[in-house]
Structure 1
């Protein structure tokens, strides 16, 4: 199994970053505006990227201001069963976001495509949380 990992420093308190990652407003600004999100463990969050299917993420963990963990339960075949975590580490007013998208079955062109797009997601998250 392989994984995607990124580290992105954001000049904002981890409380702001955490809210962006669990809220309809935040995820709507940084991922897709077509979504249905509930910030509770067990919820199935839905994201529509206009690709002919809805990506569904089950919320496995919400450790307030520390960590968010999802499991993909429906999406592109390569995503189903993968997990996505966001770990937040704050020091001196900077919050490091460690994104991990893991349990990929193999390294494919779609994996490479997603790796790039996770970096773009983190750039939008940074801009949103820093008020840009």
Structure 2
């Protein structure tokens, strides 16, 4: 029986679910906290291109999408460890804040790259929070 591993992070963001959804789904906003260049549309079956460098030019397919509620992207072309993994963002409004429950699912092993990615996601999601709450954009070269 094969085991799958998952990265989990929950954080509150002081804005609306609509704004958080834009932050995780709109290429121009993804470029402000995660990617260097991005293209894609948050609709079932659509493909995102997550460009970080010529060596790291990755793709993922939208496998679930409910605007202002959830977005799931299955990574289709990336490095070996990320291929087939799933980025899963769930949003819940609570007392004027949004609880963002993030999972990076379907890792085949809990190797060094898995552990580094978990740390990087924590840093990047904090960058998303600061971007959405305060307008802070961390330069790409300074991101996790």
Shift of 1:131: 2.7
Q: If the length of structure 2 is used for normalisation, what is the TM-score?
A: 0.87
Partner SS, residue 29 of structure 1: coil
Moved over 4 A (4+): none
- CA deviation string 1:51-79 (max 9, x = no partner): 61311111111111110001000001011
Matched residues, number: 132
Q: Alignment partner for residue 23 of structure 2, among 10, 20, 23?
A: 20
The aligned counterpart of 2:119 is 116
Structure-2 separation of matches of 1:80 and 1:45: 14
Structure-1 separation of matches of 2:83 and 2:105: 11
Q: Please, which runs of 5 or more residues in structure 2 have no aligned partner? A: 136-144
- Alignment of 1:107 with 2:110, yes or no, is yes
Q: Please, which runs of 5 or more residues in structure 1 have no aligned partner? A: none
Q: Alignment partner for residue 48 of structure 1, among 40, 48, 51?
A: 51
